Amino acid sequence: MTAALETIRARAGAEPVRLGLILGSGLGHLAGAVGGVAIPYGDLPGFPHAGVSGHNPNLVIGRLEGVRVAVFGAREHYYENGNPAAMRPALETLKALGAEGLIATNAAGSLRPDIAPGDLMLLGDHINFSGLNPLIGERTDARFVPMTEAHDPGYRAALRSAAAVEGIALPEGVYAWYSGPSFETPAEIRAIRTLGGDAVGMSTVPEVILARFLGLRVAAISTITNMAAGMSDEKISHEHTKAMAPLGAAKLERILRGFLHGLR
């Protein structure tokens, strides 16, 4: 982490960062809207070398809506290398840069007929359906992280307000983390629905756990790219996800900008 921190400060300056943003599928263009410096993950020791098409592995440090942010253009998913803690060095660096919180975004499949492709869903809670945890192996008692309000109530309220100002529907739901990379079966989707899940995806939960471990406030929003397996006749694929993600991305960008404007 020290080497990455030194590199970031040398290129982007020592001014503290207020907030981190993890961009999911379809939101890569938002990094280009940040007035600042783009640093390839490959130049930052310990940072993940994300290998998923549709993501841009750069860290961008600069201002968006007047707020100094650190924008992660990609994340490493558990299914890439089998490491649920892959994002820990990056988030530790975010904390060391002075950030108070993290906003994560992702692409997800809907389990609710009233939340359709192109819609957004604010995460009110999550289910760790995979059973994996990025804190396994942590030796200190800090590993026993309370998750009762893992998704920060204040951030969620501010995001809902920003959505309301923009006239964008932002229903709140429960996100279930499925490890991937294969998509879920219809039987697994029925199980997740029975457990109370409203959307399913292959990311975000490890980052939420790590962020809370590090003392960061956190909130997350899903862009719905498809109905989950068995919920419709559409063919689910990664190409479909990439094609559908931009439908919600424009709305999500407006919400994020409004949220950041409110932090100034």
Residues 190-214: pLDDT tens digits?
Answer: 999 999 999 999 999 999 999 999 9
Q: Where do we find the tokens 């997740």?
A: 192
Tell me the pLDDT band of 237, cut-offs 50, 70 and 90: low
Q: What is the mean pLDDT of the chain?
A: 91
Beta strand extents in 42-132 (DSSP E only): 58-64, 67-72, 101-110, 120-127
Predicted confidence at residue 96, as pLDDT, reads: 97
Work out the burial of residue 213: count CB atoms within 10 Å of its CB; fewer than 13 is exposed, 13-18 middle, 19 or more buried: buried
- pTM score, two decimals? 0.92
Tally of domains in the chain:
1
If you average pLDDT over residues 181-191, what whole number do you get?
A: 94
Cα–Cα–Cα angle for 89, 207, 259, rounded to 5 degrees: 110
- What span, in angstroms and rounded, lies between the C-alpha atoms of 137 and 139? 6
74: left (phi over 0), alpha (psi -120 to 50) or beta: beta
pLDDT exceeds 70 at position 252: yes
The mean pLDDT value for 229-251 works out to 71
Q: Say what the pLDDT of residue 150 is.
A: 97
The structure tokens listed for 246 are: 């931009």
Strands (E), 65-213: 67-72, 101-110, 120-127, 172-177, 199-201
- Residue 162 pLDDT > 80, yes or no? yes
Q: Confidence band (pLDDT; 50, 70, 90) for 31?
A: confident
Which CATH number is 51's domain given? 3.40.50.1580
Model pLDDT, residue 229:
83
Q: Which amino acids are annotated catalytic?
A: 25, 55, 77, 79-80, 107, 202-203, 226, 238
The torsion defined by the Cα of 238, 242, 244 and 250, in degrees rounded to 10, comes to 150
Q: What is the pLDDT of residues 48-107, one digit of tens each?
A: 876 554 557 889 999 999 999 999 988 889 999 999 999 999 999 999 999 999 999 999
Report whether pLDDT(234) > 80: no
Q: What is each CA distance from 51 to 26, 77, 196, 197, 220, in whole angstroms?
A: 15, 9, 31, 28, 22
CA pair distance 150, 156, nearest whole angstrom? 11
pLDDT band at 230 (very low <50, low <70, confident <90, very high): confident
> For residue range 101-150, what is the model confidence (pLDDT) as tens digits?
999 999 999 999 999 999 999 999 999 999 999 999 999 999 999 999 99
User: Residue 150: helix, strand or coil by DSSP?
Assistant: coil
**Structural domain harbouring 166:** 2-263
How far, CA to CA in Å, does 75 sit from each of 140, 167, 203? 25, 30, 8
Question: Which residue, among 230, 156, 144, has the nearest Cα to 186 in the 3D structure?
Answer: 230
Burial of 140 by CB count in 10 Å (0-12 exposed, 13-18 middle, 19+ buried)? exposed
